[in-house]
């Protein structure tokens, strides 16, 4: 149980385009989902937290207009990187937490390369 999927696993795009990443909880209802970014050889960095049906809460320094998060259902959250630039190239990972649980389960991650 507690499986989280992400799609796509890899994406290459041109600078200036937008990219949408999906995060799904497959066998539980995720009341809260988290989006992280990780650069090579660096720690996980929390970008934002989203509760189903509510606006996301962004960490300091993360541009909410650039990283659009939608948590429309208890099993799906999306992250859209708008007008992506090469510096946005990174490993984006989501995690999900069920109601009443403190444990976060991570998706497999999405590698974004912006050319």
Partner 1 sequence: QKEVEQNSGPLSVPEGAIASLNCTYSDRGSQSFFWYRQYSGKSPELIMFIYSNGDKEDGRFTAQLNKASQYVSLLIRDSQPSDSATYLCAVLAAPTDSWGKLQFGAGTQVVVTP
* Contact footprint for partner 1 (CB under 8 A): 32, 34, 43-44, 46, 49, 51, 57, 91, 93, 97, 102-109
Phi first, then psi: give them for residue 87, nearest 5 degrees.
-70, -10
Compare residues 16 and 108 and give the one whose CB is closer to partner 1. 108
* Cβ-based nearer residue to partner 1, 82 or 106: 106
Nearest distance from C-beta of residue 97 to partner 1, angstroms: 5
DSSP state of 7: E
Cβ of residue 49: shortest distance to partner 1, in angstroms?
Answer: 5
Judged by DSSP in three states, 100 sits in: coil
Cβ proximity to partner 1, 31 vs 78, nearer residue: 31
Angle at 44 between CA 67 and CA 71, to 5 degrees: 40
Q: Do residues 79 and 92 touch, judged by C-beta distance below 8 A?
A: yes
Rounded CA-CA distance 80/66 in Å is: 8
Q: How far is the CB of 20 from partner 1 (least distance, A)?
A: 19
Closer to partner 1 by Cβ: residue 51 or 82: 51
């Amino acid at each position: 149980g507690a499986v989280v999927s992400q799609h796509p696993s890899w994406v290459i795009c041109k600078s200036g385009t937008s990219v949408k990443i999906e995060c799904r909880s497959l066998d539980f209802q995720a009341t809260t989902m988290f989006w992280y970014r990780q650069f090579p050889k660096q720690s996980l960095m929390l970008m934002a937290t989203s509760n189903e049906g509510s606006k996301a809460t962004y960490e300091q320094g993360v541009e909410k207009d650039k990283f659009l998060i939608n948590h429309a259902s208890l099993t799906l959250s999306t992250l859209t990187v708008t007008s992506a630039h090469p510096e946005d190239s990174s490993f984006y990972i989501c995690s999900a937490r069920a109601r009443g649980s403190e444990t976060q389960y991570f998706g497999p991650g999405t590698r974004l390369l912006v050319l």
